Chains A and B, each alone.
Chain A
Amino acid sequence: MSETDLEQRASKRLYDIAKRWYDQISTGEVPSITLPTRTKQNIVLDNEHDVWKYGERESMRAAGTEKSALHLLKMAYVIWFIKKQIKENRSSTLRELYYISEGWKKGKFSAQDESNFLIEDLEILTDIQREAFHLRPEEDGATIFGDITLRESTRRGLRTMNCRDDVGEAGYQIPTNVEKVDLVSSGARFVVAIETGGMYARLIENGFDEEYNAVLVHLKGQPARSTRRILNRIHESFGLPITVFTDGDPWSYRIYASVAYGAIKSAHISELLATPQARFIGVQPSDIRDYNLPSDHLNEKDIAALKSELSDPRFAGDYWRDQINLQLTMNLKSEQQAFAARGLDFVTKEYLPARLADLGILR
């Protein structure tokens, strides 16, 4: 679909939401919207794409209480704003939108989370991604280092580059709108997506990418949509196996889950963002035990998060249940850089080769 078509469709669908409210009000009905319930209790496995999406459960929001009415009013303001923005061919960041709402009196957002969440609601209601609304996140994308050649359309025209040969030590920075990037070719064997910058730099310094012909991706914590989207596309385009290497704590498992299965917040577009074939390298709770890694005790929040994961359908398999229960019993967590306790080369010479062989990626 061309960009103009997409924009027209976005405008039309936004108009439809407003028109529905207009008709409701005209017939003496309280305006309302119906959305899938966006909680972990309402995500189901989509068999076609093998990713987790919102289920059947819906919740209706009617303007019968002040809070809900204000929510609808804010949504009306946002629809009005996006329509205008598309028409005038301008764009803004999510943060800018939050600040623009300052002038909307009762429709003003109280925090950026609220406006972000509302934009996601609109994506769900229209079945169109926010890029078509001319909205972009301000978070800088993560970085890629490895043998991938791609073409990016920049304001200075098309640029073709290799993410190992044509970039500096820090790698290629993923733009916020990945749809502007064409993936051309790759000579790599697999991708390692890494949670922390320290480990990403360690692998580059130790020459892991060259030795094993790997592509390294720095996730920068919980990965942005663009990062997850590009991992999905690298997998689709070149058929490269994706692996995820994080800290050994409940928050890091969620990083893996959002790469592999989709995030609860963005489950409406899971098939675009998630890579179900992605494999988890570690740090596994069993690694903490087997390698006797330096570790910390779990705090109350960690324990609550682990328990919550036990009831999360994305972690329902035997593997995760065993690992999480093991971690709860040990009451320990470790960072990925804890491998340094066994020497700086340990992670690249021993741990990763062994784990990748376990996963059948290295032979």
Chain B
Amino acid sequence: MKRSGSYSVALAEELAKKQRSISVAEFFEKNKHLLGFDSPTRGVITTIKEAVDNSLDACEEAGILPDIYISIRKTGADTLKVAVEDNGPGITPEQVPFVFGKLLYGSRFHQIKQTRGQQGIGISAAVLYGQLTVGHPSVVISRIGASFPAYRFQVQIKTESNEPEILGREEIPWDRLHGTRVEIEFRGTLAAKKRLIDYLRYTSVVNPHARLLVDIEEERLTFERVSDDPIKSPVAIKPHPHGIEIGQLRRMAAASEEFCEPFLIESFSRVGKKTALEICQNAEIDTNTRISALSPGELKSLISAMQRASVPAPPASQCLSPIGEDLIRKGLEKEMQLDFIAARTRPAGVFSGHPFLVEAAIAYGGRLEPEGPAQVVRFANRVPLIYQPGACAITSCVMSVSWKSYGLSQQGLPIGPILILVHVASTNVPFTSESKDAIASIPEIEREIVLALQEIGRDLKTFLSRRDRNRLIEDRARAVCAVIPDIAEKVAEIVELPVPDTSPIEGRIMKKCIVKKSGRNGKVTLEVNNHSNDKGIITIYLTSPDRGEDAIPKPDFLEEFSGEYTKVWQVPITPGSRFSATYSGNAGGSLDVRGIDERKKVVIDLDV
């Protein structure tokens, strides 16, 4: 498929046609920024990203659970060597030179389905980048199966002709049965190490079926997999009549032997006999002409008739591969500690004939930065977007949602311990530029993003209000059961009267069964005041280093476990009943009460 908006590629092709002296490779050399190689810090991330994307895509197509090893080592003051090795299906020795040594060569370039890389420019651009900045060829090792040998190549690109140049090819012994390893040395720094780690972490979040093992200098990081199901590889679909441009139509027409009507039916999705006829009529083209015989003018009217025709949306279910709500949750959970996660996968939609779908998740609390604006992590086709957040439709959608209605404060972005994840998957993700940093503002996509955010916002609100309610109850319990007794004691001292009993207040306010423990002056006291209407038997477990042999009354059971004693009392309760036990010992330990509805009990450890 020829990508619309694929500015540099289109331009590169044009230039290559007109002036044979400028090759694509030379063009790249002058326009590194377009492909994400604009600075030495960025080059590292882009190189790793291109290699990892290829590995993930290859494993996915072969139905393999990816095991990817990444190593980054300094080789000089400002040079790095990056190696990425996968357990994918491998690349045949005939193909290796083209995959790594020729720009714009790729198996997915003409397919219409969700893939990470698309133009076949990524990894060979990294090879070229290394060649231009350090001058060494890149090393590729690949093996396609146990019964085949592994080959080691030294590859570089002839910049004038954009053809691969193989400086060495040898059979070598390799411990992997299948897979590919690429080593590229280039000028770069590890100044953006944190960003690189973030990139890998987020890659792991949205690829929960992959395991990434990373060595950065002396540091080793592992991003484990949480899912053992390989991703079902999306299936390519035919282009949709609404999602095609004249150049592509011209190429398809030139390559076809068909007449107009069968050409339309067979080459496009969702076009039947009726629609094909209608298109031909509207374009004023005889259905019995061969498509290759149409003049450029006729092709133009054909394409405008195709745009006007009413055609059902393209089939999205096979060509898109959402991560899924469950796996997004698992992916986030494994990488950070969180109090709450809500995830949503929206139904697929269409823009300009390209199927797409949006997934979003919101995480709250845990180890997230408690103050400051929310972290927004953006993904396109399972690839994290690290740069240019301000230019991205995802960021502007997050800011356009009124988070105040979901219980969050907001200054542009929502404020607080929040992480927002948005994943846009499409057969053709509309980026703002070829470096694929930011998603363009397409109304259909923006609408879906906002809807997804609103849905997870509502989930978050439910969580927050439940938490606030629980907090209020807990807060009151602490006030009544832990602080008021202290107030009673102090005022008794001031007015010089005996300490008043605070349990009537507990009863009136709490209407619950209250179990209190306190350790003072070498005595531990356990008290039960049942202000609820429940009756039955509750079981109290008090675990501490004290044996409590002088306990009154004696515990019903005593268990020892590695120097700690669990004292168990079974206490019958009726409305208004009381119980207390004391023994010699110290404050501390843990208290647990069973046998009564969670909502009816308040357990207070005054030693905490």
Q: Does B497 contact A (CB under 8 A)?
A: yes
Stretch at the interface among A22-30, A183-191, A321-329: A22-30
| In the complex with contacts A64-B479, A65-B479, A69-B487, A26-B500 CB distance below 8 A | yes
Does residue B502 face the partner (Cβ distance < 8 Å to A)? yes
Residues of B within 8 A of A66 (CB): 475-476, 478-479, 482-483
Please determine whether B479 and A28 come into contact, CB atoms closer than 8 angstroms.
Answer: no
Q: Does B491 reach chain A (CB closer than 8 Å)?
A: yes
Of chain A, the residue at the smallest CB distance from B489 is A76
Q: Which of A21, A28, A30, A107 contacts B491 (CB 8 A)?
A: A21
Given contacts A22-B495, A22-B500, A68-B479, contact A29 B490 (CB under 8 A): no
- What 1/0 mask marks residues of chain A from 10 to 27 whose CB sits below 8 Å from any chain B CB? 000011001101100111
Q: Determine how close the nearest CB of chain A comes to the CB of B502; give it in whole angstroms.
A: 6
Q: Complex: how many Å from CA A77 to CA B476? A: 21
Q: Does A204 contact B (CB under 8 A)?
A: no
A338 interfacial contact with B, CB 8 Å:
no
A79 CA / B491 CA spacing, docked (Å)? 9
Contact partner, A15, options B483, B494, B500, B504, Cβ 8 Å: B494
| Residue numbers in A under 8 Å from B492 (CB-CB) | 22
Nearest residue in B to A80 (C-beta to C-beta)?
A: B494
Instruction: Using CB atoms, name the residue of chain B closest to A20.
Output: B491
Interface residue? A73 (CB, 8 A): yes
A68 to chain B, nearest CB (A): 7
A-B pairs with lowest CB-CB distance, top 7: A28-B504, A69-B483, A69-B479, A18-B494, A76-B490, A66-B479, A26-B500
| 64-84 of chain A: CB within 8 A of chain B | 64-70, 72-73, 76-77, 79-80, 83
Contact A15/B484 with A63-B479, A64-B479, A66-B478 known, Cβ cut-off 8 Å: no
Q: Which B residues lie at the A interface, using CB under 8 A?
A: 472, 475-476, 478-480, 482-484, 486-488, 490-495, 497, 500-502, 504-505, 507-509
A104 closest partner in B (C-beta): B490
Residues of A within 8 A of B480 (CB): 30, 63-64, 69
Residue A106, interface by CB 8 Å = yes
B interface SS class: helix
Q: How far is the CA of A31 from the CA of B480 in the complex (A)?
A: 10
- Give the complex CA separation of A65 and B475 in angstroms: 6
Binding site for B on A (CB under 8 A): 14-15, 18-19, 21-22, 25-31, 63-70, 72-73, 76-77, 79-80, 83, 106-107
Q: Which residues of B contact A67 (CB under 8 A)?
A: 475, 479
Asked if B484 contacts A30 (CB within 8 A), the reply is yes
Residue of A nearest to B490 (CB): A76
How many A-B contacts if CB must be within 8 Å?
Answer: 89
Q: A94 to nearest B CB, angstroms?
A: 21
In the complex, are the beta carbons of A31 and B494 less than 8 A apart?
no
Assess A64 versus B490: contact at CB under 8 Å? Given A69-B483, A73-B483: no
Q: Closest CB-CB distance, B350 to chain A, in whole Å?
A: 47
Which chain A residues lie closer than 8 Å to B502 at the CB level?
Answer: 25
Most central of B483, B497, B501 by chain A CB within 10 Å: B483
19 interchain pairs (CB within 8 A)?
Answer: A19-B495, A22-B488, A22-B492, A22-B497, A26-B501, A27-B504, A28-B504, A63-B483, A64-B479, A65-B475, A66-B475, A66-B478, A67-B479, A69-B483, A70-B479, A73-B490, A77-B490, A79-B494, A107-B486
Query: In whole angstroms, what is the CA distance A107 to B486 when docked?
Result: 9
Whether the Cβ atoms of A65 and B484 lie closer than 8 Å is no
Give the distance in Å from the alpha carbon of A67 to the alpha carbon of B509 in the complex. 16
Are the CB atoms of A80 and B484 closer together than 8 Å? no
Residues on the A chain within 8 Å of B494, using CB: 14-15, 18, 76, 79-80, 83
Q: What's the Cα separation between A106 and B497 when bound, in Å?
A: 22
A48–chain B nearest beta-carbon distance, Å: 35
Q: Are A18 and B495 in contact (CB under 8 A)?
A: yes
Q: How far is the CB of B222 from chain A (nearest CB, A)?
A: 43
User: Residue B505 contacts which of A19, A25, A83 (CB distance < 8 angstroms)?
Assistant: A25
**What 18 new A-B contacts, CB under 8 Å, besides A21-B491, A30-B480, A65-B476?**
A18-B494, A19-B491, A22-B500, A30-B484, A30-B509, A31-B491, A63-B480, A63-B484, A63-B487, A64-B479, A69-B484, A77-B490, A79-B494, A80-B490, A80-B493, A80-B494, A106-B486, A107-B486
| Complex-state Cα separation, A58 to B185, whole angstroms | 74
Cα distance, A73 to B501, chains bound together (Å): 16
* Bound Cα distance A336, B495 (Å): 54
A150 to chain B, nearest CB (A): 39
Contacts of A106 in B (CB 8 A): 482-483, 486
